[in-house]
Structure 1
Amino acid sequence: MPSLREHIRLSRERTGEEFRELNEWLDGEGVSFLSKIDRHIRMGKHSRYVEERWGKMGLREYRNHVNDDIEMILLLIHRLMGLGRRRCKEE
């Protein structure tokens, strides 16, 4: 998944704002592993809070942040599957 620094850069690129506090709320050092998972996968539970705290653009950036993470995970899976296929063909 993109690093916190990369998420902040992507937010700035998309919106002109870093949404540092939002990105830290999702991935900051002080956030427990279980809270990070919860905030990433239970978006329905957290969307109202995010919108109240950071507004509609913040809610959009919340969704973008999670989407960026999912895209990275899918890319990693794709690469791993590709490596697996090459090994099978070589054997």
Structure 2
Amino acid sequence: MKFTTVILIMAIVLPCLFYKEMEANVVCPPGQSFQHCLPACQRPCETRKKGVLCDKKCNRGCYCVPGTVLKSKGSSECVNPSKC
């Protein structure tokens, strides 16, 4: 019983430690930060005002910091929306 409990705890804890280590090594482009749970799409300037549907599923990755948007699709440069 104790052995099973130890194995179960390791199965839960080790992946968490691994993901934490992986996330600590993520280097995002300037103007972006690593986020744990945001929608899959980032609306760039050209589609920001259009009614583009976005996958609301939780995704991890580098995203523009709040108050900025991607300059263009496929770009990693974030700008103030007033510069779109």
Q: Same fold (TM over 0.5)?
A: no
| Bigger CA radius of gyration | 2
Between Structure 1 and Structure 2, which shows a larger proportion of helix residues?
1
Between Structure 1 and Structure 2, which shows a larger proportion of strand residues?
2
Higher relative contact order (CA 8 A, sep 6+): 1
What TM-score, normalized to structure 1? 0.30
